[in-house]
Structure 1
Amino acid sequence: MWINGTEQPTLLASDRATQFGDGCFTTAAIRHGAVQLLEAHLRRLREGCARLMMPPVDWARLESEMRAAAQPHAQGVLKVIISAGAGGRGYSRRGVSAATRIVSVSPWPVHYQPLRAQGVRLQTSPVRLAQNPLLAGIKHLNRLEQVLIRAHLDQSDADEALVLDTVGAVVECCAANLFWRQGENVFTPDLSQAGVDGVMRRHLMAQMAAAGQICHVVRAEAAQLLAADEIVICNALMPLLPVRQLDDRLFSARALYHRLQDSCYLMEAK
């Protein structure tokens, strides 16, 4: 782990990431010594920091640190945390002059590969996401909702969770975004009230737009997913997986999955 460019295993207890979850993060795939979708990850970190009114970040140095951390690895997971730094009194950031940059690398998750072939089983989570348009979309450090979602998921035999918000609208999965197809129409949830606007979600929406495919961003209830012809889920590591089951509903169609997978897996081969 590198903290502000120095390899070290510990973070100050006074850091605001520890004290308040004051910051944001991103998780990227490493392939052949390079960070996949590096510019997109940096762009989203910038957006998150701006939304959170964070102290200054040395973006050029962070990009250099990300590249250097990835370079020795043929495959792996790069995580970047930007915290608001150490210090301040209570919730106030007064006295904090600069953000803290934390870069780490971990092994590649092996469970995604078999799920590409067999498909993912989703189970609707009993944990609902609170609506908060001020924080919606960004990947901030306050992840207690996801921790609880994962705790419930670990008690089941499902692979991922379908997560709704407190008014019953479909938002995302525990650690992934989702799309669904009804006939020729493709949909993804509106994330203006809750959820994370993932880098892979953005990438796939851009690929669809370039191909002339309209992706409808909608407020939908779970019943609309159960009536869909097909569901796929995505994140920067998966990067795209077909869904074979949602609760008791089975899915076999993979037209959307096959249509989108080339833009993901060709990217992996670079």
Structure 2
Amino acid sequence: MMLINGVAQHQLDASDRAIQFGDGCFTTARIRRGKVVWHEAHLARLKLACQRLMIEQTDWSQLDSEMRTLASQQDDAVLKVIITRGAGGRGYSMAGCGLPTRILSCAPYPAHYPALRERGARLARVSTPLGSNPVLAGLKHLNRLEQVLIRAELDAKPADEALVLDTEGRLVECCAANLFWRKGTQLFTPDLSLCGVAGLARQHLIQQAQTLGWPVAYVRQTPDALSDADEVLICNALMPLVPVIQAETYRYQSREFYHQLTTNNDEWK
């Protein structure tokens, strides 16, 4: 099922700036029992991205209604919401653009995630780096060519996710997930002020960790930081949380923090 500006269709104007320039943003949400998990947070994320990208006049009330309507028709699925600047403008200029375009689509929930949570993920380093740009850092914008190349590398490796670095060789994230590791009672996650996607699961994990008394440090470190970690985890809005059993040659057995988050907490499963 796909809606473009509220109409069930699969055709997009070729002059839409999503096609011309990747001019827009998106979020990917899980649907459970007919509702969007972290619904308000996904809307807030889109609003923040539109504000920073200077995409104006999005009909947020209509978008909210469309998200709820599509979700109500699903039990366990994935909802992707894209907002583009719309069609128009000359060259790169925003002047003359029409109203933003709303694109919503549903897909089946990935069947491999439950088994991956049980087995644990393997991470492999890839050579494609993320370029630094503090203006776009954190946003899930439509320019995803870096991730496309990273995924192509990952597909050729015996691994479940990628260890992605910036151009200085520092840890940033995975291909489609955020990264955490634990040493003792201290949690670490890469600083995303220069590049990377600040995922909603990452945000939610940080909030819960602080509530549970686990301090979180935002760091710029090389992959060697994982050599003496007690525990490594990855997360995104769909997984939503997966323990890591191996990152390159480093192996991990502890699931202490993972179990604390997931025990009697259905939202992480």
Q: Output one character per residue of 1:110-161: Cα deviation in whole Å (capped at 9) or x when no partner.
A: 1111111110000011111001101000000000000000000001111000
For residue 48 of structure 1, what is the aligned residue in structure 2? Answer: 49
| Residues 223-248 of structure 1, C-alpha deviations (whole Å, 9 max, x = no match) | 00122111000000000000000111
Rounded Cα–Cα distance in structure 2 between residues aligned with 1:268 and 1:222: 26
- Following TM superposition, by how much is the alpha carbon of 1:207 offset from its aligned partner in structure 2, in angstroms? 1.0
Aligned position for 1:120:
121
| 1:170 CA drift (Å) | 0.6
Q: 1:27, 1:202 → 2: CA distance?
A: 15
Instruction: Name 1:226's counterpart in structure 2.
Output: 227
The normalised TM-score by structure 2 is 0.97
Gaps of 5+ in 2: none
CA contact (8 A) 2:180 2:232 kept: yes
Q: Would you say the 8 A contact 2:180–2:234 is kept in 1?
A: yes
**Whole-Å Cα distance in 2 between the matches of residues 191 and 225 of structure 1?**
18
- Structure 1 position 88 matched with structure 2 position 77: no
Contact 2:261 2:268 in 1 (8 A): no
Report if the CA contact (8 A) 1:55-1:96 is conserved. no
Q: Does 1:137 find its partner at 2:138?
A: yes
Give, in angstroms, the shift of residue 262 of structure 1: 4.1
Say if 2:201 and 2:236, in contact at 8 Å, map to a contact too. Answer: yes
Given that 1:31 and 1:268 are in contact with CA atoms closer than 8 Å, whether structure 2 keeps it comes out as no
State, as a whole percentage, how many aligned pairs show the same letter: 56
Amino acid at match of 1:96: C
Counterpart position of 1:252: 253
CA contact (8 A) 2:34 2:71 kept: yes
Number of the residue aligned with 1:205:
206
What is the number of residues matched between the two proteins? Answer: 268
Cα separation, partners in 2 of 1:262 and 1:137, compared to 1, 3 Å = farther
**In the alignment, residue 216 of structure 1 is paired with which amino acid?**
A
Instruction: Determine if contact 1:170/1:220 at 8 Å carries over to the other structure.
Output: yes
User: Following TM superposition, by how much is the alpha carbon of 1:84 offset from its aligned partner in structure 2, in angstroms?
Assistant: 0.4
Residues in 2 aligned to 1:49 and 1:117: alpha-carbon distance in whole angstroms:
37
Which is further off, 177-186 or 251-260? 251-260
Contact persistence 1:56–1:97 (CA under 8 A):
no
CA distance in 2, matches of 1:132, 1:122: 25
Match of 2:99 in 1: 98
In 1, Cα distance between the equivalents of 2:268 and 2:244?
21
Shift of 1:268: 6.4
Task: Answer whether contact 2:226 2:250 (CA < 8 A) is retained.
Answer: no
So what's the TM-score if we normalise by structure 1? 0.97
Name the aligned partner's letter for residue 30 of structure 1: I
Corresponding residue number in structure 2 for 1:241: 242
What is the CA-CA distance between 1:97 and the residue it aligns to?
3.2
Q: CA deviation at 1:167?
A: 0.5
Provide the C-alpha distance between the structure 1 equivalents of 2:251 and 2:267, rounded to a whole number of angstroms: 30
Structure 1's 105 and 166: CA in aligned 2 closer, same or farther, altered over 3 A? same
Aligned to 2:266: 266
RMSD: 1.2
1:152 aligns with 2:137: no
